[in-house]
Amino acid sequence: MKFSFITCTYNREKYLGQTLKSVCEQTFPVGEYEILVIDNNSTDNTADVCKEYQERYPDRQFFYFKETNQGFSFALNRGIREAKGEYIVFVDDDETIQPVHLKRLDIHLKENTQAELIASPVIPVYESGEPAWMSHFTQRLIGGYFNQGDKVKVLDANHYPGTGHTIIKRELYEKYGYYNTELGRKGISLIGAEDKDMFNRLKNNGISAYYFPDIPIYHHIPPAKTTDDFFNRLTYSIGKSERIRTKSVSASEYYKRLLSEGIKWGASLVLFAGYTLLLTPAKGLRLLRFRWNVTKGLLGK
């Protein structure tokens, strides 16, 4: 089997159906891909939604698993262990893809046989419109925005893919390990960095990340994710995640991250001044709030 779709989910019945519809309606031969949903202890109707799509598309190889260890990384690891495909295609439970996604991916892999780790573009879809404070620097944070142009390329180390738009050769996990279960969201917690931790591990072992531009992921953003409260909790959790991730590597890695935070503060102040001069101070103020919250989390405050 060539491809395994993996969707890890927790209480997202509202969005999960559109995700499953998009992965089920691929133009790629149905015998060459499977669909795995890993339910991480959802308390809503997630199981019923999965059953509905299993019945709606009976010819698809559609599998539902319940992962009782709470945490996104536990769910990811369960999906990887259950998968049979040569390549794993992650699609989050609030994302959708085009029907030609696998067909185009297959063509790219045949033309780039050395590609083992791949990122695709991410296009945010804001249900209530894009907030006025949104900028280039907060787009990826909230909407997952990722665009590296319209050409196939090898990405540099500063542009690592997030889990929700990653395609990866399954054997890499067997060689270099699975996701760190101390990282990644658990229930309503916003702790992350499991993807950055994994990417750094692969990069340190000489694995390059490729970018395929014509297989976009559409990330659907509800109004709740553009509130001040969510922004504050998310950005604080980014700092806390980085504290956990770097300290798990070494003390020097943590202090190196603190040093880079100081550099980022300088850049944020310059950007704040620039946005103020452009008469869009809300964008600059949001960047300062972003930095403040990350720093607090990084320091464990």
Q: What is the pLDDT of residue 70?
A: 93
In the chain, the largest separation of any two C-alpha atoms, in whole Å, equals 58
What lies within 8 Å, CB to CB, of 174 at 6+ separation is none
Q: What is the pLDDT of residue 192?
A: 58
CA atoms within 13 A on the CB side of 250: 3
Q: What is the pLDDT of residue 285?
A: 95
Residues of the chain whose pLDDT is less than 50? none
User: Taking the mean position of all CA atoms in its chain, how far away is CA 35?
Assistant: 18
- ∠ CA(36), CA(121), CA(41), 5° rounding? 30
If one counts every other C-beta atom within 10 angstroms of the C-beta of residue 128, the result is: 11
Cα(88)–Cα(8) distance, integer angstroms = 13
User: Taking the mean position of all CA atoms in its chain, how far away is CA 239?
Assistant: 17
The DSSP bridge partners found for residue 119 are: 166, 211
Cα(60)–Cα(26) distance, integer angstroms = 10
Closest CA to 3 of 70, 75, 78, 60: 60
pLDDT digits over 5-18, tens only? 999 999 999 999 99
Burial of 202: CB neighbours in 10 Å, binned 0-12, 13-18, 19+: buried
Burial of 120: CB neighbours in 10 Å, binned 0-12, 13-18, 19+: buried
User: Taking the mean position of all CA atoms in its chain, how far away is CA 228?
Assistant: 21
Q: Which three-class secondary structure state does DSSP give residue 96?
A: strand
Helix H or strand E segment including 80: helix 72-82
Q: What is the pLDDT of residue 196?
A: 81
Q: What is the pLDDT of residue 190?
A: 56
Q: What are 91's two structure tokens?
A: 């699609």
The DSSP bridge partners found for residue 144 are: none
Q: Which residue has the tokens 């008469």?
A: 279
Q: What is the pLDDT of residue 155?
A: 92
